[in-house]
């Protein structure tokens, strides 16, 4: 979450000089509110996911974390913009729920290959991107599309950091069956 908030500050920083800082202030306020509103539920979800955590190769875990972080941030930010625009929320909410359902199913389904899970997440991303773009076009604010892009970038950065940590989760006790990951050797070797 801290990586998300740091990236949410740094990415829109060039907008400080556009429009006397008003645009930066609006995007910064919305992203900060978005991050704070999701902090507690995100920590609870992280604890629930951590119970089932197995170690993973660093490259795969960081890529998956960045992708799901960007998808979750985009979907959630567009949902907040749609909610603030009142009538649009009823059009976008079913697509956001379907996206969340597909991603959670891809994360928790047992006995499925990585390519099948990746396909489910790509379908969820396409669904969220198309419906989110339509919702942002219907919203009267120009800050919505800019904020959603910054939010997705910040979510990708935060997700990459989380995926990098996820790759090392659980130590050697959490190596999944059939994995190519090998247990670490102890730091001290007997003499």
Instruction: Compute the distance between CA of residue 46 and CA of residue 39 in angstroms, rounded to an integer.
Output: 10
141 located within any domain:
yes
62 located within any domain:
yes
**Are the CB atoms for 107 and 49 separated by under 8 Å?**
yes
**Are the CB atoms for 135 and 15 separated by under 8 Å?**
no
Number of domains the chain is built from: 1
Query: What's the pLDDT score for residue 127?
Result: 92
Please return the burial class of 8, using the count of CB atoms within 10 Å of its CB with bins 0-12, 13-18 and 19+: buried
Instruction: Compute the distance between CA of residue 136 and CA of residue 109 in angstroms, rounded to an integer.
Output: 32
pLDDT, averaged across the chain: 75
42 located within any domain:
no
12 located within any domain:
yes
Query: Could you read off the pLDDT of 77-129 as tens digits, one per residue?
Result: 888 788 777 778 888 889 989 998 898 888 777 778 888 888 998 999 999 99
135 located within any domain:
yes
43 located within any domain:
no
130 located within any domain:
yes
178 located within any domain:
no
User: Could you tell me the pLDDT band of residue 140, with boundaries at 50, 70 and 90?
Assistant: confident
């Amino acid at each position: 979450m801290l990586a998300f908030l740091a990236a949410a500050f740094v990415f829109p920083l060039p907008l400080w000089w556009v429009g006397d800082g008003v645009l930066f202030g609006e995007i910064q306020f919305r992203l900060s509110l978005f991050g704070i509103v999701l902090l507690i539920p995100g920590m609870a979800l992280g604890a629930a996911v951590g119970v089932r955590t197995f170690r993973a190769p660093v490259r795969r875990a960081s890529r998956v974390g960045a992708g799901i972080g960007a998808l979750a941030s985009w979907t959630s930010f567009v949902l907040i913009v749609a909610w603030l625009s009142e009538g649009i929320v009823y059009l976008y909410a079913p697509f956001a729920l379907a996206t969340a359902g597909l991603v959670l199913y891809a994360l928790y389904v047992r006995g499925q290959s990585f390519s099948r899970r990746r396909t489910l997440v790509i379908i969820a991303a396409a669904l969220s991107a198309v419906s989110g773009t339509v919702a942002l076009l219907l919203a009267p604010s120009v800050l919505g599309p800019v904020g959603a892009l910054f939010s997705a970038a910040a979510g990708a950065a935060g997700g990459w950091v989380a995926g990098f940590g996820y790759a090392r989760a659980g130590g050697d006790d959490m190596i999944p069956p059939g994995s190519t990951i090998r247990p670490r050797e102890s730091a001290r070797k007997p003499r």
